[in-house]
Amino acid sequence: HEKLLTWPKVLDNHQTVSEEEYTGKNIRLPSTKEAPNLDMQVLNYHRPMLGTFHSKFMVVDRKIGIVSSNNIQDNSNMEMMCHVEGPIVDSLYDTFLISWHNELDPPLPSRNSPAAQGGLPTFEQASFQGLFDPNGNLNVPEYGNSRSLQEVAEAGKRTELPLHAPGDPHYDVDIAGEVTRMQSVMSPRDGETGPAVAARHLNRGRHLDLKPTIEGNYAPGEEMTPYIPHRVHDLVPMALVNRKPYGATNHNGVFMPQNEAWLSAVRNATTSVFIQTPDLNAAPLLPELLAAVRRGVDVTYYVCLGYNDAGELLPFQGGHNEGVANKLYTSLTAEESAARSRLHIHYYTAKDQVAPIHDSFKQRSCHVKLMIVDSHLGIMGNGNQDTQSWYHSQEVNIMIDSAEIVTKWREGIERNQNTGKLGRSSNEDGIWRDAQGNQAKGAIGVDAGKFSWAKGVVGAVQRVRGAGGF
């Protein structure tokens, strides 16, 4: 639990949270009375001052692992989650035990049944296998031969299923049913347009009524498609690349598996680097991105306009996204026009919008954390490309080597947002502007001003209080 900080944490970094506290208004987990068959233990883990437990992962029955970008809360964020099975789940299980640290009472029932011996439960389901034809092309059960996400979307239009939502659950018996239900929910009804459906979906988390600014309808093949199933495949090379929390107020805690994996990937890239992250300002990464474009590698990164600007403006935090983008572009000289043409910086633009919306409005933000290198190496999970994630927070990420899987990841990224098409910054100063030359409402621009440190203090206070986001 990342938002609770009490003075006893200075002495004991792993604080057991009582039922009275975790059912209170600040956390609101269910009580034993509400969930009598649930044996729940809650721990608050933090290494003062800055060693936040930023990890976001789940292990189910020591057979299924979930690694994601999202916290369990309602907000305006676009997120990415990956379901994994096989030996990697044992690594997630070990990470949990190390993080928990304290005695578990009772012990976990799966302690003697490692995932490496448990097969691949989802791939072994006949219903999941039925999602695909003998050639590995996508099939949606009962709706014909669907070989692409476009055809999944078409299949969803042929039935009408209610949304599975908090307070109104509609459970499916398998993943195939979940895929069909979600695409049904995302299919236009009664004269709705695709952008209107996307707006309804993106508004739900914060109970908003923001209207789409995309006019007309999506072209076939461009509909929003949140679920991306992968065909049954052989095991692929995969590893956890994590970092442990480091609380001291210096930058000594940088030599960690997560950071070394990111740096090695960028340094060894030969054709392309793609990154999506809320903020990008980590000092070790910036020169490597410039080195990559100078040696002929295309570098594309997507960030969120205004994401946690206040916190990023604190001294030694690296700066806000527009300032960093400007620094990168202006570091390239007039003689380096070819390198400049290979650096592509975009600001998150939601699937229903024609322009980025500043994060301060809490309407459309992106919290995805992903790196893809040379179209086959992928690293996704919890870690942002900012100072906090590089030097301090505990993070959990999976690294895989599979062109097939990361191609699907990238396809899903582009399919579910307009960042690539409509969020491109100027390659002169790194600022997004509309056709009339105007910056987005609320944007700081290149120069945050002489009192940026004061804004940073406000952001830090909000973060500790749980009002900020990261």
Q: What is the pLDDT of residue 6?
A: 54
**Residue 65 contacts residue 11 (beta carbons within 8 Å):** no
**Which amino acid is residue 13, in one-letter code?**
N
Tokens describing residue 397: 């990420």
**Residue 88 contacts residue 66 (beta carbons within 8 Å):** no
Q: What is the pLDDT of residue 141?
A: 36
Intervals of the chain under pLDDT 50 = 1-2, 141-149, 451, 464-469
Domains of the chain, first to last? 7-117 (no CATH), 126-206 (no CATH), 238-465 (3.30.870.10)
pTM: 0.90
**pLDDT tens column, 59-108:** 999 999 999 999 988 888 999 999 999 999 999 999 999 999 999 988 99
Report how far residue 5's alpha carbon sits from residue 15's, in angstroms, rounded to the nearest whole number: 10
Report how far residue 352's alpha carbon sits from residue 252's, in angstroms, rounded to the nearest whole number: 42
Report how far residue 198's alpha carbon sits from residue 416's, in angstroms, rounded to the nearest whole number: 9
If you search the block for the tokens 């992962």, which residue do you land on? 57
